Chain A
Amino acid sequence: MHPAPSIILFTTLSGLGFGLLAFLGLGMPGATGWVAFAFFAIGFALAGGGLVASTFHLGHPERALKAFTQWRTSWLSREAWTSLATLSVMGLYAIGRVFFDASWQPLGWLGAALSVATVYCTAMIYTSIKAVPRWNTGLTPLHFLTLSAGGGALLAGEVSLAAPLLALAAAVQVLVWMQGDGALARSGTTMASATGLSSGAARAFEPPHTGTNYLLREMVHVVGRKHSRRLRVLALILGYGLPILLLLLPFTHWLGLLAMLTHILGILAARWLFFAEAEHVVGLYYGKR
């Protein structure tokens, strides 16, 4: 799949932001006043900013409100609702924390649950696409959720929680790669099933067009795969290894900031691979798988 920068940025940042909001909702840290303001500002900037980034890839952003209508079947529509609900509930909760030195805890719990639901909906958008076998697995939501938990804990400064959660997320990430590499072969969709030509081995002889087209640009991205192994190692080191190491050192805010930055860099690399390596079965028609 085409790794669109706006979607990579959106899924990475909003995943992190909703992870942070979930921890804030649970009262971790239970800060008030200006400190709380800073935490909530970062959470809203990441989660809300991600949502804004996601509208950049829409052909008609002016109609974006219509995306709230089809929550019965569409995970994208459900994501729109849960993210809006999360930001509203957590906004009220933040007002209590920042201005009234109050902890309206039931609101916080609700906001935390909604944050988790939002990340789950984001993951399900990809999981539900059967035409991309690499995504079409229960590991995808597990990956998104553990990653948000690890990154959220890191951002919330929950040092003792962040290290084990990041380690767990790293383990799930490795599992995702391992099972993803054989997903297309296991899906049973082949050139023979795509074309129904079974009297012999089929080979793409001539494409339908001399130039490129939307399908090839959007769904048959093959450029980045040659760096896959190196990028995976980089993502593991930057996204998980280094932050865990920095968390184990005596805590200072500078080390925390450094841990957060390498984490984001590593996750951006992993998320780029998440799209670039995902094989859409339409590529079979072009002999490109």
Chain B
Amino acid sequence: MTELPTATDRKLGLVIDLDTCVGCHACVISCKGWNTENYGAPLSDTDPYGADPSGTFLNRVHSYEVQPEDGAAQLVHFPKSCLHCDNAPCVTVCPTGASYKRVEDGIVLVNESDCIGCGLCAWACPYGAREMDAVEKVMKKCTLCVDRIYNENLPEEDREPVCVRTCPAGARHFGDLGDPDSEVSQLVAARGGMDLMPEQGTAPVNKYLPPRPRDQLDQVDVLAPYLEPVAQEPRGFLGWLDRALDQMPGGKE
């Protein structure tokens, strides 16, 4: 049913630390691997070794350069997947009821056997979290590894989304964001976790931890201003070349 639940028992989601992410794309690959081999239609690649490769991914890592007013530019790696919004616009637009938000844990899922592949939910999502599979022609999205987190056939340490399990930097955290005492909620409170595009009114469950401000290296050494500059007027052959080139037309302004 595409009516959103007024409240969910839990709000399972991810907390992504933009300060820690090193941009290795391991989460992208493990996500593609798990979700191709398990729940639902496989994530296809078209022309993977040809001139125009393209594929379906549920998680992608952008990289941004942030240039502060003063100080060095900073590179921020930015993993983006479904944010499992409380007010998910992708769910209400679905004409068939294939898209739904679970009451028990707030996960937004697609029932692929009901999906007609109209693509309207992908239009409605401001984050680009949904992708239509080019081969299966059904809408694919992050399931928060619903087939892992409750899977009693897996060892307990593996019962979390595969992107979280695989992250070598510890930049991804999984938990109940509806419980203020959970580890993820406390992390969000401590680090000033933020919503993406809050003005869109989607009320995303996933939170992002902003990069910490970098140290300011104004001066390398207090004596630096008193040191002799290393570069000097060229002498010898280079000096002659410098003067000779200056003599040429247009050489010395």
A59 adjacent to B116 (CB under 8 Å): yes
Report if A252 contacts B (CB, 8 A). Answer: no
Query: Contacts of B64 on A, CB cut-off 8 Å?
Result: 195, 197, 202-205
* A211 and B53 in contact, given A132-B123, A280-B123 (Cβ under 8 angstroms): yes
> How near does chain B come to A130, taking the closest CB pair, in angstroms?
6
> How near does chain A come to B205, taking the closest CB pair, in angstroms?
15
B131 adjacent to A70 (CB under 8 Å): no
* A205 and B92 in contact, given A59-B117, A188-B199 (Cβ under 8 angstroms): no
Give Cα A58 to B125, complex, Å: 18
Question: How many chain A residues touch the partner (CB < 8 A)?
Answer: 59
A282 adjacent to B128 (CB under 8 Å): yes
Query: Contacts of A64 on B, CB cut-off 8 Å?
Result: 116
Give Cα A72 to B211, complex, Å: 42
Partner of B74, one of A80, A199, A212: A199
Report if B186 contacts A (CB, 8 A). Answer: no
A1 adjacent to B65 (CB under 8 Å): no
Q: Chain A 200-228, CB within 8 Å of chain B: the 1/0 string?
A: 11111111111111110011000000000
Nearest neighbor of A132 in chain B, beta-carbon distance: B123
> How near does chain A come to B68, taking the closest CB pair, in angstroms?
4
Query: Which residues of B138-167 have CB atoms within 8 Å of chain A's CB atoms?
Result: 138
* A208 and B55 in contact, given A131-B124, A189-B197, A218-B122 (Cβ under 8 angstroms): no
A194 adjacent to B92 (CB under 8 Å): no
> How near does chain B come to A20, taking the closest CB pair, in angstroms?
26
Among the stretches B6-14, B94-102, B171-179, B243-251, the one at the interface with A is B94-102
A77 adjacent to B95 (CB under 8 Å): yes
Partner of A189, one of B73, B98, B199, B213: B199
Report if B134 contacts A (CB, 8 A). Answer: yes
Contact sample, A vs B, 22 pairs, CB 8 Å cutoff: A60-B115, A67-B118, A72-B3, A75-B93, A76-B95, A125-B120, A129-B93, A129-B124, A131-B123, A131-B124, A195-B64, A199-B68, A200-B66, A202-B66, A210-B53, A211-B55, A214-B122, A214-B132, A280-B126, A281-B197, A282-B127, A286-B62
Q: Measuring CB to CB, which residues of chain A are less than 8 angstroms from any residue of chain B?
A: 1, 57-61, 63-64, 66-70, 72-77, 80, 125, 128-132, 187-189, 193-215, 218-219, 280-282, 285-286
Q: Measuring CB to CB, which residues of chain B are less than 8 angstroms from any residue of chain A?
A: 1-3, 18, 25, 28, 52-57, 60-69, 73-76, 78, 80, 89, 91-98, 114-120, 122-128, 131-132, 134, 136-138, 194-201, 208, 210-211, 213
List 7 additional A-B contacts (Cβ < 8 Å) besides A193-B196, A203-B64. A67-B118, A130-B126, A194-B197, A199-B66, A201-B67, A203-B66, A207-B62
